[in-house]
Structure 1
Amino acid sequence: MPQSLANLYVHLIFSTKDRRPILSEKVRPDLHAYLATVLANLDSPAIIINSVEDHVHLLFKMSRTVTLAKVVEEVKKSSSKWLKTQSPEFEQFAWQAGYGGFSVSESNAGQVANYIRRQEE
């Protein structure tokens, strides 16, 4: 086969350090946009991103050339640095060390997207 193909959907979840409820409604839209940009730069386009005060959910199509560990590292590192510049309340911001990454079938991606969309409920 002369070319490679991958169609992988990933549901990624990670929390603020110590599950601190610091992600205010004011910062979330810009955070989501920033996370989507980081994913796009990794050739892993976002389907949907949403969050509540203490954690984030991302559904994206995984690049065939980047590992999940690298995506998580870049997303968390970049967004943490960015958040620290947004307001004095974020100067000490950090994400929790761990994460949950789950494969999602293409046929279930819509259901997962709806679950993520309705996080605050």
Structure 2
Amino acid sequence: MANTYTQLYVQIVFAVKGRQHLIPRHRKEELHQYITGIVQNRGQKLLAVHCMPDHTHLFVGFSPTLPIADLVRDVKQATSVWVKEKGITRSTFSWQEGYGAFTYAQSQVTDVVQYVLNQEEHHRKRTFRDEYIAFLERFEVPYDARYVFDFYDNYPQQPDQ
């Protein structure tokens, strides 16, 4: 659209179903590259991505022509298929339903990029559950703690490979 100007920055966070540790450390860079391609092919600008064994953070500069939900759906669907095709995990892989999306100002971009890229360090001090609840509270997102995560306590956690 002519004469439409926007500046939209969104951090998106979503978890592996059951919060299983299924993204092996030695394969995450490949997954980062694959996600980057998906985001770019949808006409968005990926500012940062980091996959932990049980969850993923994306920081995206959004064009208003694409709903956030559509991008998240596309990333989750394509990466689920990709993980299965590549044989990245011996377990059944899928993402948990839902996601968190949190907006930021231009003045916060550098800090958020660093935050996303430094996930390994952050999670030495804070669990993903604590991190996610903190996002919901800081951004004043109403939630019911019973439904924030889908845990499969009976599933064995794969060690980082």
Q: Tell me which interval the TM-score lies in, with the shorter structure as reference length.
A: over 0.9
CA–CA separation in structure 1 for the residues paired with 2:36 and 2:58: 9
- The alignment-based identity, stated in percent, is 31
Is the 1:85–1:91 Cα contact (8 Å) retained in structure 2?
Answer: no
CA–CA separation in structure 1 for the residues paired with 2:104 and 2:42: 19
Alignment TM-score, normalising by the size of structure 2: 0.71
The one-character-per-residue Cα deviations of 1:83-116 (angstroms, maximum 9, x if unpaired) are 1111162562100001001111111011111111
Is the 1:50–1:58 Cα contact (8 Å) retained in structure 2?
Answer: yes
CA–CA separation in structure 1 for the residues paired with 2:95 and 2:24: 15
- Number of equivalenced pairs: 121
Would you say 1:30 and 2:30 are equivalent positions?
yes
In structure 1, runs of 5+ residues without a counterpart are none
Segments of 4+ moved more than 4 angstroms: none
More strand by share: 1
Query: In the alignment, what sits opposite 1:83?
Result: 83
Quick check: which has more Rg, 1 or 2? 2
Instruction: Note the 1:11-90 alignment, pairs <5 A.
Output: 11-87=11-87, 89=89
Q: CA RMSD in A?
A: 1.5
The one-character-per-residue Cα deviations of 1:63-82 (angstroms, maximum 9, x if unpaired) are 22110111111111111111
In structure 2, runs of 5+ residues without a counterpart are 122-161
Query: In the alignment, what sits opposite 2:119?
Result: 119
Alignment TM-score, normalising by the size of structure 1: 0.93
Deviation at residue 3 of structure 1 after TM alignment: 2.3
